[in-house]
Amino acid sequence: MTTLKMLSILLVLTILPSLSIAEEESISFDDVEDVKVELPKSSVGEELRSHLMGRIDLTSEFSPYDNDEPEENHEFKNYHFFVFLKVKASDRTEFFGEIIGQKFYFVNLKVNNPITFSFGKIPVPFGDSTSYHRYYGGVQGLGSDGVLFPIVWAENGFNIRTQLNPLAIETYMVNGFTELDETTGKPKLNVGSNGSRQAGGARLSLDAGGVTPVLSYYHMQWRRGDSLNLIGGDLSSSYGLWDLSLFKHLRLGMGRAVAFIDGHQDGTFQKAGDYAKIATNLLGPVEFQLLYGTFTYDSSDKSEKDTHAFTLSGQVPWDQVRLTLEYQWNFEAENEVENDILRLMASLDF
């Protein structure tokens, strides 16, 4: 770690009085009042009930070390222009999807009281996906292909969810990973599928009164005779878990995912990512969060693709707009690159 990076870490820790990345919140489709639409009608003659939601942002980010190309330092970018549609076709069937970029879209059919069948381009049920992003590697992935997995990991397929309160069991089949590294010929996990191979898996989630542990499994044949097995474990807590003056203002999260991939000349090799985060709302409307994680691109070959990262940020609401300031320190295992990022973002969820 360079002396300059150490000084920048101490500077930001001094400026921000608490810990916090301003995490992308999930956009719930359960808490918004339905809007009745007179036409069309469902096949059983009931009025369709629907509503729209969305997200838009303006982001400016720059690297303090990018002196060779300063025109890129203050470029304005738009990472989100999403419109979400929910349609309740009947008491048992509903549709939810992102309809501009078609990041994901699916139908939920309530088969009976505990079982729901979903199909379409579904968010893959692996890890903690409540915010539609995963933090393995310690980086959210804005402006990139994602770290261990795609930024929004959704594939065509189906999922069967059985809700046995407080336990939820999900089993699924989706299109699997198909992209290969051009240099090594090994599978890349942060790029979406072209549909030529399929995968299956399961996820167990337990709502333990403010604490949610999640166990995940994913399996596919990435080429004939060679398997890819993913195992993940996540744990998160919500605000107010501990009824103490300080601790009730904290929420925590941590997780690790490991991919065991057959086909290496010495046998199985691994890709892996982990993260730990702590957030606080102790200062009222302002939330701070600190996120840390590591990423191993290929356990058989140490390289600059093996990384770890810290992200420290603060987020404050302004009417219905959220303002975010965050600083991200990136470190490579070899050939250190000066690629830290300061990010400013204004976003609206509606």
Each residue of 115-144: pLDDT tens digit?
999 999 999 999 998 877 889 998 866 656
For the residues 59-72, what does the mean pLDDT come to? Answer: 66
Q: Is the pLDDT of residue 7 over 50?
A: no
pLDDT at 63: 74
Give every CB contact of residue 289 below 8 A, 6+ residues apart in sequence.
Answer: 19, 20, 21, 22, 23, 277, 278, 279, 280, 311, 312, 313, 315
Strand partners, 251: 279
| Higher per-residue confidence, 104 vs 72 | 104
Give pLDDT tens digits for 210-255.
Answer: 899 999 999 999 999 899 999 999 999 999 887 777 788 999 999 9
Contacts 24+ apart (CB under 8 A), 10-19: 12/312, 12/327, 13/312, 16/288, 16/312, 16/313, 16/314, 17/283, 17/288, 18/280, 18/282, 18/283, 18/288, 18/314, 19/278, 19/279, 19/280, 19/288, 19/289, 19/290, 19/312
Spatial separation of the C-alpha atoms in residues 106 and 94, rounded to whole Å: 9
pLDDT at 301: 83
Spatial separation of the C-alpha atoms in residues 313 and 281, rounded to whole Å: 12
Q: Is the pLDDT of residue 30 over 70?
A: no
| Higher per-residue confidence, 9 vs 277 | 277
Spatial separation of the C-alpha atoms in residues 345 and 343, rounded to whole Å: 7
pLDDT at 33: 45
CA torsion sign for 26, 31, 36, 42 is positive
pLDDT band at 337 (very low <50, low <70, confident <90, very high): confident
pLDDT at 302: 85
Give residue for tokens 């699997």.
Answer: 176
What tokens appear for 66 in the block?
């990018």
Q: Is the pLDDT of residue 72 over 60?
A: no
pLDDT at 134: 86
Domain count, the chain: 1
* Closest C-alpha among 241, 328, 315, 238 to residue 283: 315
pLDDT band at 77 (very low <50, low <70, confident <90, very high): confident
What tokens appear for 331 in the block?
């470190």
pLDDT at 143: 59
| Higher per-residue confidence, 264 vs 7 | 264
CATH number at residue 206: 2.40.160.10
For the residues 183-200, what does the mean pLDDT come to? Answer: 90
For the residues 175-187, what does the mean pLDDT come to? Answer: 90
CA angle 77, 133, 321 (to 5 degrees): 50
- Give the domain range for residue 164: 3-349
For the residues 155-182, what does the mean pLDDT come to? Answer: 97
Q: Is the pLDDT of residue 39 over 50?
A: no
Spatial separation of the C-alpha atoms in residues 42 and 45, rounded to whole Å: 5
